[in-house]
Structure 1
Amino acid sequence: MKEKKQIIENSLVNLMDEYRFREITIKMLCTEANINRSTFYAYYLDKYDLLDSMIDFHIENIINMVKTKTEGITNAQNKQIYVKNYINALFQYIYENQRFFKILITKHPAQNFTQKLIGSLRQSYSEIINQFHLKNPDYFVNYTIGGQFGVLFFWLQQDCKEHPCEISDIVFNNILKTNR
């Protein structure tokens, strides 16, 4: 069952690499996945449901990763290690799923995805930043998210040539420089 869903999801990514989402039909998806329509409809209502479930899956994974990487930050002596670990994990996750992220952020930008991604990053950073007791934390978080998203966009456009750790170092060092 999971295998068929994965085949359908991979087929959508393959097609989105070549076509805009609005051009993709269920027939194209079924042909690409080598399944019949009833199999597709056993898992999804339509192509929008498919894309939304994929987006929600990645956003949920990012949110869960944040919780895992920042667990214990409240009582930690060096809170910056938690921030560094979170940023490393975030860019590693994006790297491992770069085709999906590249298509939805740079090739055929999906506003729904971008809004959900930025919203989850904003929430994550806000929770982390609250541990540092900064002046004007909302502005700091929004500034940080804007810069990080710019780095992410450029990195994806360049086919993630740098290792995720290198990109996370860039983002982390810029956060530290901003937060003086």
Structure 2
Amino acid sequence: MGYQRKTALTQKHIKNSLITLLDIHKFDLITVNQIVEEAEITRSTFYRYYEDKYSLLSEIEEEILNQLHEARQKINQQFTEEDMFTVEVFQQLFESLESYSEAIRVLLGHNGDTSFEMKIKNEIAKRFVNLGELHHVSKVREDLVKEYLYVILIKTFQYWSANKESIDVREVAATIRDIQLKGLRKAIGI
């Protein structure tokens, strides 16, 4: 059991090192040497766990996407279709991603992986696969509503992860809910 724990800690340290470097440098400019220096490990230790920096980045992104998927499944089990736009749903989503907030901030930031946003979009899309069939919505309206939801959720992830120490997640959740249910004008009190 001690070896597994040490392995997990080493991998976490390597992942955190890449996130630290991504906060300063573009991914393409980061080298394995920089990662091992930041992690204070040897190259052989790095290669024991990862084929290259791309596999490391992929593993970080997959962990976040798996957490998002699990949160979505839990929400689907807990809430009815009619309750999907409640403050509690959005709050639970953000709370489930709390431990990944720094990685989300960096990965969705200017130095992050541009494909990560698309991966999040694809995970969110799973929730809305049959929207048109369920509610007899036109293809244009279905597509535009999905795009709106993707953009607002991804931009909200960026805002939340960059400001989470100084904001109330419940207020963020309530704002998303109000925009989606009441519209922009009413959400800001006009």
1:37 maps to 43
Map 1:56-67; keep pairs closer than 5 Å: 56-67=62-73
Shift of 1:95: 4.2
2:118 maps to 115
CA contact under 8 A between 1:95 and 1:160: conserved in structure 2?
Answer: no
**Aligned partner of 1:106 among 93, 104, 109:** 109
1:141 maps to 146
Cα shift readout 1:145-170 (whole Å, capped 9, x = no counterpart): 22233333344455663222211111
Q: Percent identity?
A: 21
CA contact under 8 A between 2:87 and 2:170: conserved in structure 1?
Answer: no
Residue 137 of structure 2 aligns to a residue whose secondary structure is coil
CA contact under 8 A between 1:8 and 1:40: conserved in structure 2?
Answer: yes
Distance 2:89 2:132 in 1: 15
CA contact under 8 A between 1:59 and 1:117: conserved in structure 2?
Answer: yes
Q: CA RMSD in A?
A: 2.7
1:173 aligns with 2:175: no
Map 1:69-84; keep pairs closer than 5 Å: 69-71=75-77, 73=79, 76=80, 79-80=82-83, 84=87
Cα shift readout 1:83-126 (whole Å, capped 9, x = no counterpart): 543321222244442221111112314211111011111222x1
**Aligned partner of 2:9 among 3, 12, 17:** 3
CA contact under 8 A between 2:71 and 2:96: conserved in structure 1?
Answer: no
Shift of 1:55: 0.4
- Structure 1 runs not aligned, ≥5 long: none
Residue 106 of structure 1 aligns to a residue whose secondary structure is coil
Distance 1:20 1:92 in 2: 28
Shift of 1:20: 1.7
1:87 maps to 90
**What's the TM-score, normalizing by structure 2?**
0.78
Question: Structure 1 residues 174 and 134 mapped into 2: Cα distance closer, same or farther (>3 Å)?
Answer: farther
1:13 aligns with 2:19: yes
Paired residues, what number? 174
